[in-house]
Structure 1
Amino acid sequence: MKKVSAEQVIKRLKIENPWWETRKIPTAYLAFKPRSYLELFYPLVQTKKIRRATVLMGPRRVGKTVILHHTIQNLIDSGYDPNKIGYFSVDHPIYNGLGLEELLELFSAATEANYHEDECYIFFDEIQYLKNWENHLKLLVDRQPNLKCTVSGSAAAALKLKSSESGAGRFTDFLLPPLTFHEYLELLDKNNLVIPPSEANGFFKPRNIEKLNESFIHYLNYGGYPEVIFSDIIQSDPGRFIKSDIIDKVLLRDLPGLYGIQDIQELNYLFTTLAFNSSNEVSLEELSKGSGVAKNTIKKYIEYLEAAFLIRTVHRIDRTAKRFKRANFFKVYLTNPSIRSALFSPVTHSDEAIGALSETAIYSQWFHSDTLLHYARWKNGEVDIVHLNKQLKVSWAIEVKWTDRFFTRPHELKSLIQFCHSNNVTGAAVTTMTKSEKVTVENVNFDFIPTSLYCYTVGYNIVKGKQNIREGLTSGAT
């Protein structure tokens, strides 16, 4: 039986690395407008002050391969030699059985770059297809100081697990999440729906709240994945794309392969149940009774789904912001609201599920940060989002509403008022459908803000805030 020759592999490499001749990445990637996260990702890849490999992880179809190619183009535009930049799509069958060092030898043969001595940037896409990749990569970091390696993969749970276990001190993890509402509008060139902050007030304002809400509803249904927002065909049947190409591959292939899950039907049923109840309080007891699956098994499944970046759990505190010793109750949120629409059906402006989906959207913006959030619940009250400071005191709280009713009847926000009084908090935010205003009730200052505008603001501030921190660290290092 004939084996694939080195010459055939090099031919494939030249197809995957057209910039060796053209100084440009493929047109298909140039056509995509870069995500805001590129400004955070590129400095990690480009810098050689820290000897580490970068591990790009995240859910399927969020644009990891695109951001790799945009990074390559940035390197070329910054003056780096294109022949010392190598990209490998490791999932291609032609690379089957080849280790990282063997791939690097072929890279050197194709470009005449000496990766042992020359400064080279190497990108391994879909790295999970290489067995024991984390050990190979660790050796490269240790033995090849001139190499700057970046790897990515769609099996996010596997990458996170192996990166944490084997890459301590050698790998830097970077999470590329689904689109924020800010990025969604930016990619569609709809940022003009929002008026930027002025020096006078420092807050965003809607230019037209009806149109902003219209885009927000579209974001709830289709806005998590770059490929979806540009395709009317996919939007006509989101379940076919998001469910089959994203969710099913995680549930049927990634997680069973990584964790040895035997009963995939159980896992699928649990995820569907949690997706339908996104933003609702659940308990292991309740989930166990409803499914007939042991509580310990459900707990493990939830951990697996979190590792795959499909869901996030949020834990409960009481009226005085105290945590419960036993986490019997908790909330589960989808990491992007459009997952729910793909599994069930798109929502409309007046749909019964719009409130829960709006709350899911707000939480999904915050999931892009390292901010740890809670919700408060006690016998006769609940507050949707609470942030505790390092002293475990309430620093801010938000009540999420998809209605303007409480703008005219703020006294009805009894739970939020009670919570603020109990924790000596002077103010809180309340989201609305269209209204923006400051109102004081019972010595509590309420900031009313449209849900869509709040989502935009959080997404913008998180990414831009990280950029400012990154720039500060970079300037400090130099």
Structure 2
Amino acid sequence: MEIPKSELYSVLQEFNPWWSGQPLADLPEWERSAVKQVWNWATATDSRRALLLSGARQVGKTTVFRQTIRKLLASGRPPTHILYATFDHPLLKLAGLQQTLQAWEELFPPVSSEPTRMLFLDEIQYVQDWQTWVKHQVDFHPSSRVAMTGSADPLRQGTVESGVGRWETLPLPTLSFAEYLRLRRIDIPELPMVRSLRQLFEWHDAEFALTAAAARPLMAHFHEYLLRGGFPEPALAHDLARCQRLLREDIVDKVLKRDMTAFYGVRRILEVEKIFLYLCYHDGGILDIPTLTQQLEGVNRQTALNFLDLFESTHLIYRLKPYGYGKEVLRGRDKIYLADAALPGAVLLLGRKLLEQPERLGAAVETAFFKHVFIRYYSQSPRFAYWQDRKNRGLEVDLIAEAGERLVPFEVKYDDGEITPKRLRGLRLFMEERGVGEGYVITQRWDDFKVLDVTSARRGDTSSASIGRIMAIPAPLACYWLSV
């Protein structure tokens, strides 16, 4: 559709106030760690690849872009060489990408001797055939760099081959625990800097005791984090009721009722809501599709599988396969984590009652911890899985990160029970069978913060020889250290 040039110019100038020397308004000084990553991409000289910043709705992708633009302007980048456009704006959505870029170039014609021009394109999924355009841009226009955001997985709308070598993907999850503390301006205790949780295996008893004493105030803030979640605007709401209402209305409802329809043509919204509600009840659990279809009237196996794909595509869930290879993975059931630990409580209207329900609180902690591990290990292209003993389904390991040749097993035991070797039999058995010397258990009790030497978990094995070590870490500390 042809849009009057005057209207297009007006919208672009509103989105790009720096063209006329105006500052970026209402932009916080505090920056997420993703801003540094986007800045590194924008200033790199050894790659021409585009960047796709991918994450759920309202997670802060636009703010990350605008803060990066602020840094570029402060570094001396010519203001007219930077374009920001969001394609969920009605007029830009009608105009399309080509008309939008033509308007920019008519306002500020490019000159071959000028520095690289930067394009920040928000909600790129609204642009038809955008993958092909990015491919051509990267291949044939070296004088410009393209960064994009998307709230829906682009590879479900086009060929995977289009993106190979043309763009890199940077996932933007909800706020980490450390980011949440900074956003809400909460005083953080003086804690030792821990770059890797492996460092803790070298600590002495006194270091564990002193750190636990200093970190205890984090527990109340961690529980509040589980209730409020990591979406920036709801997290800043004055009261919890409003926070959780925003989570339901702005995050869940808009994705389920608008994005599913707009991007994937879904018409059976009631079935979508049923399945998502079921996932909220079973967050952090192993999903059995036959059980789901029996309990949800009118939902068959294929429908359930299709909607799970769409939930993953719109960044509402993560899915883990069982650890192993070949048939044991292909035939195995998925483990489901929601995108943020606060979503189930908000959807199920639990409020602060979540903290009084040990099983749901444990699931929320496991979901939050998985998100932190996912982000910490993402740059190493890991494989995430869970493990169950095939002979005894009662023995399992909640989370395994496989990065290269290294296996890192994690178990979450968030309750007031003492962490004993007997309670960790699944983790011990996995370590013994796979030859893994170090594992981790995420706890609630500060008294459990220590290293445990563990022996064989095989039945009948009475040997007292150590097979490895398990680090027990209180959940607030583990999530904090993984996010700084």
State if a TM-score over 0.5 links the two structures.
yes
In the other structure, the counterpart of 2:285 is 280
Give 1:57's aligned residue.
54
Assess, with a 3 A threshold, how the Cα gap between structure 1 residues 183 and 220 changes in structure 2: closer, same or farther.
Answer: same
More deviation in 361-370 or 163-172? 163-172
Question: Over residues 334-360 of structure 1, what are the superposed CA-to-partner deviations in whole Å (9 max), with x where a residue is unaligned?
Answer: 121011121112345442311111111
Cα deviation code 1:7-65 (max 9, x no counterpart):
23222222221112336322x12x25211111111222333532232222210001111
User: 2:129 and 2:63 mapped to 1: Cα distance?
Assistant: 25
Answer yes or no: is 1:231 the counterpart of 2:213.
no
User: For residues 74-115 of structure 1, what are the alpha-carbon distances to aligned partners after superposition, in whole Å with 9 as ceiling and x for unaligned?
Assistant: 1111111112112223232333432333222322333x3426
Residue 312 of structure 1 and its aligned partner are, at CA, apart by 1.2
Indicate which of 46, 68, 71 corresponds to 2:68.
71
1:222-246 per-residue CA deviation (whole Å, 9 max, x = no partner) reads 131111222215x323343112211
Report the residue type matching 1:221 in the other structure: L
Partner of 1:248: 253
Partner of 1:6: 5
Give the SS at the match of 1:385.
Answer: strand
Q: Tell me: CA distance 1:77–1:253, structure 2 relative to 1, closer, same or farther (3 Å).
A: same
1:63 to 1:14, Cα distance in 2 relative to 1, 3 A: same
In the superposition, relative to structure 1, how do residues 367 and 412 fare at CA in structure 2: closer, same or farther (>3 Å)? closer
- In structure 2, the partner of 1:339 is 343
Q: Which residue of 2 aligns with 1:184?
A: 180
Quote the offset at 1:215 in angstroms: 1.0
What do residues 225-272 of structure 1 show as CA deviations (whole Å, max 9, x unaligned)? 111222215x32334311221112221222233333332211211111
Q: Pairwise mapping of residues 25-104 of structure 1 onto structure 2 (< 5 A)?
A: 25-26=24-25, 28-29=26-27, 31-104=28-101
| Count of residue correspondences | 448
Displacement of 1:281 after TM fit?
1.9
Distance 2:29 2:156 in 1: 27
Cα distance in 1 between the residues matched to 2:469 and 2:230 = 33
Q: Which amino acid aligns with 2:428?
A: I
1:210, 1:6 → 2: CA distance? 59
Q: 2:365 aligns with which of 340, 358, 364?
A: 358
Partner of 1:438: 451
Change in Cα spacing, 1:420 to 1:7, as seen in structure 2 (3 Å) is: closer
Identity %: 27
CA shift, 1:212, in A, is: 0.7
Aligned partners of 1:400, 1:71: CA distance in 2, in Å? 36
- For 2:415 and 2:335, locate their aligned partners in 1 and report how far apart those are by CA, in whole Å: 22
Instruction: State whether residues 334 and 364 of structure 1, in contact with CA within 8 Å, keep that contact through their aligned partners in structure 2.
Output: no
Q: 1:49 to 1:396 in 2, by over 3 A?
A: closer
Name the SS of the counterpart of 2:118 in structure 1: strand
Kindly provide the amino acid, as one letter, of the partner of residue 437 in structure 1: K
Residue 217 of structure 2 aligns to a residue in which SS?
A: helix
Q: How far apart are 1:206 and its partner, in Å?
A: 4.9
Given candidates 301, 308, 324, the residue that maps to 2:328 is 324
Question: What's the TM-score once normalised by structure 1's chain length?
Answer: 0.85
1:405 aligns with 2:417: yes
- Normalising by structure 2, report the TM-score: 0.84
Question: Would you say the 8 A contact 2:235–2:243 is kept in 1?
Answer: no
Residues in 1 aligned to 2:194 and 2:336: alpha-carbon distance in whole angstroms:
37
Distance in 2, Cα, partners of 1:21 & 1:261: 43
Aligned to 1:304: 310
CA contact (8 A) 1:153 1:159 kept: no
* 1:466 corresponds to: none
Write the distance in 1 (CA, Å) between the matches of 2:434 and 2:7. Answer: 68
Gaps of 5+ in 2: 201-207, 456-465
Contact 2:248 2:347 (8 Å CA) reproduced: yes
Distance in structure 2 (CA, Å) of the matches to 1:385 and 1:153: 27
String of CA shifts for 1:179-222, please: whole Å, max 9, x gaps.
111222233344623513279x9459456443211111111111
2:271 alignment counterpart: 266
2:435 is aligned, of 419, 424, 427, to: 424
Show the counterpart of 1:377. Answer: 388
Give the CA RMSD over aligned residues: 2.9
Matched, 1:453 2:453: no
CA offsets per residue over residues 368-404 of structure 1, 9 Å max, x none? 224322222232422222334656xx73322211135
In the aligned structure 1, how far is the partner of 2:121 from the partner of 2:301?
Answer: 39
Q: Secondary structure at the match of 1:270?
A: helix
2:321–2:329 contact (8 Å) kept in structure 1: no
Structure 1 residue runs of 5 or longer lacking an equivalent are: 461-478
CA–CA distance in structure 1, aligned partners of residues 241 and 218 of structure 2: 21
